[in-house]
Amino acid sequence: MTAARPPEFPMFVSVEEARTMLAALLPTPETEWVGVGQAHGRTLAGPLAALVSHPSATESALDGIACRAADTLSASPSAPRRLQVIGESRAGVPFAAEVGPGQCIRIYTGAPMPAGADAIGPVEQLVDDGPEAVLLQRPASPADVRPEGGDFRAGEEVMPAGLLLTAPRVALAAALGHARIPVRRKLRVALLSTGDEVIEPGQPLLPGQVYDSNRIGLSAMLHDSGCEVLPLGHAPDSPAALQGAIDSIGGADLLLTSGGVSMGKYDFMRDLLIGQGRVSFWKVRMRPGGPALLGGWNGLPVFGLPGNPVSSLVVFHVIVRPALTGQPVQTLKLRAATPFRGIPDKMAFWRANIVGGEVHDYGKQGSGVLRSLSEAGALVVVPEGGGVAVGESVDVVLL
């Protein structure tokens, strides 16, 4: 009897190793300049400094009056402070003179503070006392004055390179005064789903067939990760069809495939990639998602995701996405409201729900239960061989 020859590539790598190996095969994207209105979802390629200060002048945070705080210290509903109104300041049209003792001006949110005044009396605390005076029923508050540059000062470096440009961050880039900003080129990812049983939604479904959910979900996740998707559609379980689809790719940075990398006779993606002799690893010590494979095809990195819908989307979330975006997987610590079991030599990502600040096991943990990814809001991470008891603090990935 002859012993089976050991494979010439690493098997059963850790989640961390898989992520690092994939990231090492991806190019460092060049910088391009885009309008700040087109930058949502992109990654900032260079730091952004403030071109102006915000606020650009010391201004009011409320609608009301601007006056001298010292004048109003004893104001109360039973003994309101009477102040003479000598003018107004509104956004864009400041008051030119100085506010003296016993005086105030009407002021509106975002309007510049006049000289002499250092506090705001909100409109809710004012009663008119004739056309040129008001009664203030509480002390005016210096805290409702926004100092010039209190948010950021001109010249200050506010946004570091590498930031993922979320909606609040593109708003900040605009507030800093940038019309165009440097972002990393979008990585181009070709996407192919495989499987004889996999068909398009809209077609009648025969017993044993399944609608192609992975291609839709993965395409959405790639867009969410700031990538450009090259859709290759779907290929049947035939080496020639798979090879034809891969050979048709032009100018991609990565090929992402779904299905056909497991242990079955018809898992031809696996055979084709192993045949190329460029396998970085096959199988990751994780559940769900074990059979992922990283290989190469004529210089193009190929990441083979398992076909099971949950495996495919979870592997994308914890390995492919961080490698593509350079952003670590975001986790938070929460208290476990139910136990979560550990698996020897595998990192487990159990679907869970967050209720009242605690995580609860979702229940059905099969890797084909796609519905769970919609109904469970989170993945509980249990390290290899670990296990989590009720009341313990656990790492949670938001979905």
Query: Is residue 215 at the binding interface for ligand AMP, with CB under 6 A as the rule?
Result: yes
Least Å from the CB of residue 13 to ligand AMP: 18
Q: Binding mask 310-349 vs ligand AMP (x if CB under 6 A, - otherwise)? A: ----------------------------------------
Q: Binding mask 159-198 vs ligand AMP (x if CB under 6 A, - otherwise)? A: ----------------------------------x-x-xx
- Exactly one of 308, 325, 365, 372 binds ligand AMP (CB under 6 A); that residue is 308
Smaller CB separation from ligand AMP, 370 or 394:
370
DSSP character string of 71-97: GGTT--SSSPEEEEEEEEEBTTB---S
Q: Which does 249 bind (CB under 5 to 8 A by kind): Mg ion, ligand AMP, none?
A: none
Q: What gap in Å lies between CA 224 and CA 325, rounded to an integer?
A: 10
Q: What gap in Å lies between CA 169 and CA 225, rounded to an integer?
A: 16
Task: Give the total residue count for the chain.
Answer: 399
- Exactly one of 109, 141, 213, 331 binds ligand AMP (CB under 6 A); that residue is 213
Smaller CB separation from ligand AMP, 107 or 269:
269
- Exactly one of 259, 288, 290, 291 binds Mg ion (CB under 5 A); that residue is 259
Least Å from the CB of residue 218 to ligand AMP: 8
DSSP character string of 94-161: ---SB--TTEEEEE-TTPBPPBT--EEEEGGGEEE-STTEEEE-S--BGGGEE-TTSSB-TT-EEE-T
Phi, psi (rounded to 5 degrees) for 341: -80, 155
Q: Which two tokens stand for residue 369?
A: 């239960």
Binding residues for ligand AMP, rule CB under 6 A, total 20
Smaller CB separation from ligand AMP, 267 or 361:
267
Query: Is residue 260 at the binding interface for ligand AMP, with CB under 6 A as the rule?
Result: yes
- Exactly one of 212, 279, 359, 379 binds ligand AMP (CB under 6 A); that residue is 212
- Exactly one of 55, 80, 182, 195 binds Mg ion (CB under 5 A); that residue is 195
Taken in order 189, 190, 193, 199, is the CA torsion positive or negative?
positive
* SS3 state of residue 25: helix
Nearest residue (beta carbon) to ligand AMP = 307
Smaller CB separation from ligand AMP, 121 or 259:
259
Q: Which does 193 bind (CB under 5 to 8 A by kind): Mg ion, ligand AMP, none?
A: ligand AMP
Residue among 242, 248, 250, 224 nearest 322 (CA): 224
Taken in order 155, 157, 159, 161, is the CA torsion positive or negative?
positive
Those residues with Cβ within 8 angstroms of residue 325's Cβ, 6 or more apart along the chain or in another chain: 43, 164, 225, 226
Query: Is residue 361 at the binding interface for ligand AMP, with CB under 6 A as the rule?
Result: no
DSSP character string of 218-259: HHHHHHHTTPEEEEEEEE-S-HHHHHHHHHT--S-SEEEEES
Smaller CB separation from ligand AMP, 122 or 259:
259
The reply to whether omega before 288 is within 30° of 0 (cis) is: yes
Query: Is residue 257 at the binding interface for ligand AMP, with CB under 6 A as the rule?
Result: no
CB atoms within 10 A of CB 27: 11
Window 203-232: residues binding Mg ion (CB under 5 A):
none
Query: Is residue 290 at the binding interface for ligand AMP, with CB under 6 A as the rule?
Result: no
Least Å from the CB of residue 56 to Mg ion: 60
Residue among 117, 140, 146, 141 nearest 55 (CA): 146
Q: Binding mask 290-309 vs Mg ion (x if CB under 5 A, - otherwise)? A: -----------------x--
Summarize as ranges the residues that interact with ligand AMP (CB under 6 A).
Answer: 193, 195, 197-198, 210, 212-215, 258-260, 262, 264, 267, 306-309, 368
Task: Return residues touching Mg ion (CB under 5 A).
Answer: 195, 259-260, 307
